[in-house]
Amino acid sequence: MLFAILIRAGEPTCRLLASPAMPVFTKEGDIIIGGIFVFHVYKECFFFLVSLNFREFQFAKAMIFAVEEINNSSDILPGVSVGYRIYDACTSIQLGIRAAMALMNAPDEDMFNDTSCKKSSNVHAIIGMSGSSHTIGVARVIRSFHIPLISYVATCACLSNKQEYPTFFRTIPSDYYQSRALAQLVKHFGWTWIGTVRSDNDYGNLGMATFIQAVQQEGICIEYTEAVYISYPREKIIKTARVIKESSSKVIVAFLSLLDMDILLKELTLQNVTGLQWIGSEGWISARIFATEEVYQILGGAIGFAITDSLIPGLKDYMLNFWETIFSCSMNSNTNASKCTGLENLREMKNEYTDVTELRIPSNVYKAVYAVAYSLHSLLKCKQEQVGVGNKTCENELPVEPWQVVQQLKNVNFTTIYGENIYFDRNGDPAAKYELVNWQMNNLGTVKFVKIGIYDASLPDGHQFIMNNISIVWAGNRTWIPRSVCSDDCLPGTRKAVQKGKPICCFDCVPCAEGEFSNATSSCPLDYNSNEQKDHCVLKVIEFLSFGEIMGIILVTCSLFGVTLTALVASIFFYYKETPVVKANNSELSFLLLLSLMLCFSCSLTFIGEPSQWSCTIRHTTFGITFVLCISCILAKTIVVLMAFRATLPGNNIMKWFGPTQQRLSVLAFTLIQVLICALWLIISPPFPHKNMVLYKEKIIFECDLGSPTAFYAVLGYIGFLSAMCFILAFLARKLPDNFNEAKFITFSMLLFCAVWISFIPAYISSPGKYIVAVEIFAILTSSFGLLLCIFAPKCYIILLKPEENTKKHLMGKALTN
């Protein structure tokens, strides 16, 4: 039927160029709730008893039952009668819109009367429709009139957009949750190669798009995606059935409406497509119309998400109280239909209407009606008076505008008589809960939808699936989970190579490269290597410089020898502390220098052994601080030599500016700078133990990662800066007149020190594995021995072997000669 919508400037859209549709069921009341259902296909729209859709008829009866229950209740809307007007949309979006427009006008109202556009709607809410596309069309039309539309079956996630559908609500969860739940279900059972079929409408296209996005994030591949629609020519349905039959995937996710699934099943039956594992959406998974032995050959073992079933007291008996339509007879003998005898047995009839074993969608209709009623109850401020038992009134008076109902629906929150809490979130959606059902056949040959679990989107991630302890029947009545892969797992000794132009789940098996391994399911972890046969993993050798190996023993011996030798020199100096040689070289700085050298020898021990967080933290910071302390003492001694010579010149009193106190402070200041650098290093990016699996394929280098290479080079740079300064000052003081000029020995020691650490840099960079640690220890020990021998060996030689030269006269001899 063709019609057009007239729009006048400044006036709402409200008139059709056709006579208004007549309601199928009607009941007058103070409050009118509209209903739009699909009782027939379009071509049979005007013949009520021909090809009646019993499923939709059951939904309409659920609405009427809810209205009558409310009218008979004294707890809700007391003194207010609720009526209804129920229309047939006949699977047509256009007729659905026409019905909605008719609901906004009185049934006998002249559609061309200008005053009709200025009146408020005749209904306070509309329940419908049976499908997302139909619902979208109606929602767009009535939004300008601010009339609430509550759907019991439209699941498209697009309807949650309150900017586009401000008056839409629903009692069925959004596909936003169902699509993700289906993806989690596929992942849960380990399927990586699947096919998909969808309805070519808003419900199927948007729901499947969300599902595909979710499964691809999980690494699941899709072999094909087909579309089906009730109005498609049979050739397209045949093509889809052939694709399903010839595909290699054994799992099919079907996001289909009931009518589209019916068309596809008929073709699959003709082509005898069996043995596939079907995963279904709520649109068809619990439809009793398919629960036959013939369809079970195709869908047996199917699993999917169904709307939660509710046991509404009295609803089942009410459904069975309808006679003429069920038996296709008439109480009127003047019709062509057979006359009702009264002996018909209603409980022996088998169709969608009389099947009241599950009332999933009818319960959604029931909840939608009650949501409107509770909103009106709150809007009218109905309450029980204190005087008079059972005397209830409502404070506010009728009429009530539909936009007021919209506002109340946003805040409605009630509990049904069977204990379910009903409310809408900010998008007009209910709490997302599904039952996971499995198609099973009992011993009597009856197909049952067995509840094997639930999905509750309100629970935390990872806990949304709750599986029952019930055995699942899979496709072909198997008891084990079917496999669905593009390529079989590679044999031991081979690895996966992705096929060009195909998804990552499709691969060829090629021999493993050297150092690689794979078994039937996976490859070696990074800390494992393949054996010679490449059929299993062996743990890689972990390499680090240990105390037990020869290199470690040699370095530990050298370190302890250095500590012992330094302690021996300190003992000699302490014993001969009153002699001129010891006194002439600033004994306080000498003892501090010897202490720092002992620490330098000792810190090399922290580089040996298995790296730990403690050893990695302490080894480089201790090294940096102790060497700066050592160089600071030498720098102070060099400055003292220069100052001492200038103090001998007439009228020069420079030594008072660099006495013992200033010497101590200079050493402390130089050392504190290094302490600050190391502290920042440890705070910002400290060193840490690290298993280097990249350097070698056959072994793991267990080492200390610097954390911040910049900080490490800053530590070395500061040591180099002090060394260079010390070398320059000592070089300038090397020819000062004195029989025992310490500046000569400091110059040579600094020359050796700088040479060692300059050569250390390229050796450190180029050394592999544990040898990099050995190079660093060698540099520490060599530079420490160089400082110890160059500075203190000449003094010990005089003290022990040339005591005659250990006199003040001899030390000053050269100066006196000059």
Structure tokens given for 801: 């072997």
Which band of pLDDT confidence, cut at 50, 70 and 90, is reported for residue 106?
low
* Whole-number pLDDT of residue 33: 93
Task: Establish whether the linkage from the previous residue to 580 is cis, with ω within 30° of 0.
Answer: no
* Whole-number pLDDT of residue 816: 39
Half-sphere exposure of 151 (CA within 13 A, CB side): 27
Q: Beta strand 433-441 with 303-307: parallel, antiparallel or unpaired?
A: antiparallel
Cα end-to-end distance, the chain, whole Å: 130
* Whole-number pLDDT of residue 387: 38
* Whole-number pLDDT of residue 17: 31
Task: Please determine, for residue 388, whether its predicted confidence score (pLDDT) is greater than 60.
Answer: no
Residues of the chain above pLDDT 90, percent:
31
Q: Measured between alpha carbons, how far is 531 from 525 in angstroms, rounded to an integer?
A: 13
Q: Measured between alpha carbons, how far is 684 from 587 in angstroms, rounded to an integer?
A: 39
Q: Where are the beta strands (DSSP E) in 211-270?
A: 221-228, 251-255
pLDDT tens digit sequence for 725-739: 888 887 776 666 554
Determine the residue type at 395. E
* Whole-number pLDDT of residue 11: 32
**DSSP per position, 337-403:** SEEP-S---GGG--STTT--S--HHHHHHHHHHHHHHHHHHHHTTEEE-SSSTT-EEESS-S---HH
Task: Please determine, for residue 585, whether its predicted confidence score (pLDDT) is greater than 50.
Answer: yes
Do 193 and 219 meet the contact criterion of CB atoms below 8 Å apart?
no
- Give 31's strand partners: 82
Residue owning tokens 């450190």 = 764
Short-list 45, 42, 31, CA closest to 76: 31
Q: Measured between alpha carbons, how far is 150 from 135 in angstroms, rounded to an integer?
A: 9
Which band of pLDDT confidence, cut at 50, 70 and 90, is reported for residue 161?
very high
* Whole-number pLDDT of residue 797: 86
* Whole-number pLDDT of residue 121: 64
* Whole-number pLDDT of residue 803: 80
Task: Please determine, for residue 652, whether its predicted confidence score (pLDDT) is greater than 70.
Answer: no
Determine the residue type at 339. K
* Whole-number pLDDT of residue 370: 94
pLDDT tens digit sequence for 40-91: 765 555 544 446 777 888 889 899 999 999 999 888 888 888 999 999 888 7
pLDDT tens digit sequence for 464-515: 888 887 889 999 888 888 988 888 877 777 778 888 878 888 888 887 766 5
Task: Please determine, for residue 559, whether its predicted confidence score (pLDDT) is greater than 90.
Answer: yes
What's 31's DSSP letter? E
Structure tokens given for 270: 């003709």
Residue owning tokens 């007149």 = 737
* Whole-number pLDDT of residue 9: 29
Average pLDDT of the chain?
81
Task: Please determine, for residue 750, whether its predicted confidence score (pLDDT) is greater than 50.
Answer: yes
Structure tokens given for 421: 């809490």
Q: Measured between alpha carbons, how far is 367 from 307 in angstroms, rounded to an integer?
A: 13
Which band of pLDDT confidence, cut at 50, 70 and 90, is reported for residue 166?
very high
| CA R_g for the chain | 46
Short-list 655, 642, 817, CA closest to 746: 642
Task: Please determine, for residue 228, whether its predicted confidence score (pLDDT) is greater than 90.
Answer: yes
